[in-house]
Structure 1
Amino acid sequence: MKRGKKYIEAAKLIDRGTFYDAEEAVSLVKKAAVAKFDETVEAHIRLGVDGRHADQQVRGAVVLPHGTGKTVKVLVFAKGDKVAEAEAAGADFVGGDELIPKIQNDGWLDFDVVVATPDMMGVVGRLGRVLGPKGLMPNPKAGTVTMDVTKAVNDIKAGKIEYRLDKTNIIHVPVGKASFTEEQLNENFATLMGAIIKAKPASAKGQYLRSVTIASTMGPGVKVNTAKLG
């Protein structure tokens, strides 16, 4: 793969064979983020679990203290009093059955997170084939199936992110933007890692944190020393 001059220059800042302390890794990622737009800083965490087994799934949500730097559009499936509650909390879209054809037939997906009250999951379930592959299905573990729609919407708007294993047992999540201060990125990263370490399944054997890499959208990856993460 051909790399641009900026990437090659940025890559010179990083020794690929070195495992850096989290603070130093964050500092290097910021220096290496030289694109003309505000790059997203992401963490890629390989875990020593086998996500094919239900008892080794790692999934949850955490509110990053400084958010992700992205404006998140929230869709809430609700009825009755919960409609007004969701609107008051700042949900971008609120509805019920009438949204099914819009999403299913018209391909409307102008939202980032879906929240549903438990009594609406029968309706939302009909959208499983559309929302499931995009990771948009509401889930109780992530706090997106709840009667407390005010808290759900507030948390998401404040910077709540979901984390879950992909098929290769890696978690990919944003921890902020390159324009964030090092302190903000460090606090977000520490909060994320704390949640993932706490979510370690009881059945996981051996080394839990196999590898952790931080990178910006267009920048090279920086390996983090997992021994100091807990």
Structure 2
Amino acid sequence: MTPATTLVPALLGLLTGLTLIVAIGTQNAFVLRLGIEGRNRVIAPVVAICALSDAALILAGVVGLGAVITAAPVAIVVIRVLGSAFLIGYGLWAARRAIRPGALVVTGARGETGLRVAVTTVLALTWLNPHVYLDTVLFLGGVANQQGSPERWWWAAGAVLGSFVWFAALGFGARLLRPLFARPSSWRVLDVVIAVVMLALGIRLALGH
């Protein structure tokens, strides 16, 4: 096996994976807010959950779980209903937080998100989003399986690496924005953006898009 048969598929997987996860979405918006809060006790497990979840879904796609999902569309419908309800509820929560910054203080001396809330929320944002299954299991898994064997595993490894790199950079790099968010108005703007993202995606899911 030459380096080209391992490095090229891995690099293609890395780039393809990044193109899917870098765009603003529910996970990214939530991780960004936690990263700005700057507490490793919270952000480290959240980053790990996001990256490991992506890894599990990508590998599931490689081993053929996509065919199971395609054969059972009712599962996607159930996930879509639950996911849209959660996203709309979280979006309204973020909107209320933007309107009344002191109204929704979660555990922490400065209103920071507590560990239990953060973990529960990121698990819901990850596993109740049907687009995660469509993009990660079906799309990435399908593209990986087009590479042949064993190249498909190197491709999948690249996609998994991209997920780890992105969420680590987003979560731990967001603290660089903390000087900007020393002003309460900046937090309100961020919460408005998060509310718009969550509500838009939640309504889109509810409409079946």
Specify the TM-score bucket, using the shorter chain as the normaliser.
under 0.3
Give TM-score, length-normalised by structure 1.
0.26
Greater radius of gyration (CA): 1
Instruction: Pick the structure with more helix per residue.
Output: 2
Which structure shows the higher strand fraction? 1
Length-normalised TM-score, structure 2: 0.27
Higher relative contact order (Cα pairs below 8 Å, separated by 6+ residues): 2
